[in-house]
């Protein structure tokens, strides 16, 4: 269903390495990309998902809004990592309104944080309760999301101080899932796929089937690991390390070999983490083998990563293409650039698909 004009939101992905913004025009004819842009953040402005330097983030957001000439001030943003717990739980059948009232009590046993320090949200999953048969007819499956209030407040605060209005606060993993679903055809959206987002400080995994998340996990891996290894090996600062990583510095033969070793070692950490999640999935859901791995996040471009992951898991690995079903005006956008940036833009695209008041 198209989001009505007044409910449209700007997708704002505040990553630890870069802030991404996406604006989509929804119309009866379909969706058109209206705006996309990105701005880098200095190193350690955001650490482990917590905003350490609010001024730096505000000024980056304001700069990006100016650059893109964005008029809509309503945004959908997201959080991720250790401050978010996503859990699927089984419970006795309840009407949604009743669960709404008791959610704190129900959730308490599953959440490792003080229940008063989190915001709770839930979704009753399909095939629950009355719609299912047999012994599960009086049970239902609920997706529980708990997010730490202090982290949400940090993001809300920064968004408001940037002159914007946080209409929706989402979670990276679900935004990515929306971006995947809007860009894929009906058939493959019914298969079981693993979405893997390799950013700067986080590696997020979300395995989905028929639009429902089976399992999510975020861990502290990402592109920064490579920068840190380069910093210590080459005795350079973070920015210099970034340049070396992206191949924009001339290297001598032995340096090139060192860089190659660093890439291989970090890639093997990531592949191990992903394989572990896939092993868990195949034991917990043996009837739903993962048919494809879909990559997102800037670090999925790390040379050798996609191929290594494919050969280790023997599962096809492709990059997400969140813009693929949008109308793109080539007078405004460079198609090649968009295609290249697509994995890094995916969370922001998923956020831009949200509307005020939707669920």
Ligand X SMILES: Nc1ncnc2c1ncn2[C@@H]1O[C@H](COP(=O)(O)OP(=O)(O)OP(=O)(O)O)[C@@H](O)[C@H]1O
Question: Which of 223, 355 has the CB closer to ligand X?
Answer: 223
Q: How far is CA 73 from CA 6, 198, 282, 332, in A?
A: 11, 29, 43, 22
Question: Which of 94, 301 has the CB closer to ligand X?
Answer: 301
Asked if 11 is part of the footprint of ligand X (rule: CB under 6 A), the reply reads: no
Asked if 308 is part of the footprint of ligand X (rule: CB under 6 A), the reply reads: no
Asked if 201 is part of the footprint of ligand X (rule: CB under 6 A), the reply reads: yes
3-state secondary structure of 139: strand
Neighbours of 280 (CB within 10 A): 14
Structure tokens at 329: 């005006």
Asked if 343 is part of the footprint of Mg ion (rule: CB under 5 A), the reply reads: no
Q: Exactly one of 11, 37, 129, 297 binds ligand X (CB under 6 A); which one?
A: 297
Structure tokens at 9: 């939101």
Asked if 202 is part of the footprint of ligand X (rule: CB under 6 A), the reply reads: yes
- Least separation in angstroms between CB 96 and ligand X: 32
Give the Cα separation of 305 and 196 in Å (integer).
12
With beta carbons less than 8 A apart as the criterion, state whether 82 and 218 touch. yes
Q: How far is CA 347 from CA 140, 197, 323, in A?
A: 29, 9, 12
Q: Of 2, 3, 346, whose CA–CA distance to 178 is shortest?
A: 346
Question: Which of 11, 15 has the CB closer to Mg ion?
Answer: 15
Applying the rule CB under 6 A, the residues between 237 and 256 that interact with ligand X are 242, 245-246
Number of H helices and E strands in the chain, helices first, is 9, 15
Q: Of 182, 185, 175, whose CA–CA distance to 206 is shortest?
A: 175
- Least separation in angstroms between CB 200 and ligand X: 4
Question: Which of 199, 343 has the CB closer to Mg ion?
Answer: 199
Give the Cα separation of 29 and 228 in Å (integer).
47
Applying the rule CB under 5 A, the residues between 171 and 210 that interact with Mg ion are 199
Question: Which of 141, 202 has the CB closer to ligand X?
Answer: 202
Give the Cα separation of 173 and 321 in Å (integer).
16
- Least separation in angstroms between CB 15 and ligand X: 2
Question: Which of 298, 350 has the CB closer to ligand X?
Answer: 298
Among 109-117, 136-144, 198-206, 248-256, which window interacts with ligand X (CB under 6 A)? 198-206
- Least separation in angstroms between CB 144 and ligand X: 23
Which residue ranges make up the site for ligand X (CB under 6 A)? 15-18, 199-202, 222-224, 242, 245-246, 297-299, 301-302, 344
**Which stretches of the chain bind Mg ion, using CB under 5 A?**
15, 199
């Amino acid at each position: 269903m198209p989001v009505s004009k007044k409910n449209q939101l700007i997708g704002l992905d505040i990553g630890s390495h870069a802030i991404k913004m996406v604006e989509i025009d929804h119309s009866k004819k379909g969706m058109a990309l209206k705006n996309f842009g990105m701005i880098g953040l200095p190193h350690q402005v955001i650490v482990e998902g917590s905003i350490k330097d609010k001024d730096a983030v505000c000024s980056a957001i304001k700069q990006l809004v100016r650059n893109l000439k964005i008029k809509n001030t309503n945004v959908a943003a997201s959080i991720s990592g250790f401050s978010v717990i996503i859990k699927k739980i089984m419970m006795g059948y309840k009407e949604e309104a009743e669960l709404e009232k008791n959610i704190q009590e129900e959730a308490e046993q599953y959440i490792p944080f003080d229940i008063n320090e989190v915001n709770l949200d839930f979704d009753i999953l399909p095939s629950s309760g009355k719609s299912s048969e047999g012994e599960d007819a009086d049970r239902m499956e609920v997706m529980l999301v708990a997010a730490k209030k202090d982290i949400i407040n940090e993001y809300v605060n920064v968004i408001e101080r940037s002159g914007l209005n946080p209409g929706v606060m989402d979670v990276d993993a679900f935004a990515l899932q929306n971006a995947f679903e809007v860009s894929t055809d009906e058939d493959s959206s019914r298969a079981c796929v693993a979405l893997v987002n390799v950013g700067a400080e986080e590696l997020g995994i979300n395995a989905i089937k028929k639009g429902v998340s089976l399992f999510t996990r975020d861990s502290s891996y990402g592109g920064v690991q490579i920068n840190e290894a380069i910093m210590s090996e080459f005795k350079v600062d973070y920015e210099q390390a970034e340049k070396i990583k992206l191949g924009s510095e001339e290297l001598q033969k032995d340096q090139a070999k060192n860089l190659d070793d660093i890439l291989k070692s970090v890639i093997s950490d990531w592949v191990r983490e992903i394989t572990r999640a896939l092993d868990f999935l195949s034991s917990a859901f043996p009837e739903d083998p993962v048919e494809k791995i879909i990559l997102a996040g800037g670090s999925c471009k790390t040379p050798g990563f996609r191929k290594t992951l494919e050969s280790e898991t023997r599962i096809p690995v492709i990059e997400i293409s969140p813009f693929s079903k949008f109308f793109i005006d080539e007078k405004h956008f460079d198609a090649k650039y968009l295609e290249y940036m697509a994995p890094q833009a995916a969370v922001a695209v998923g956020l831009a698909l949200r509307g005020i008041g939707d669920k």
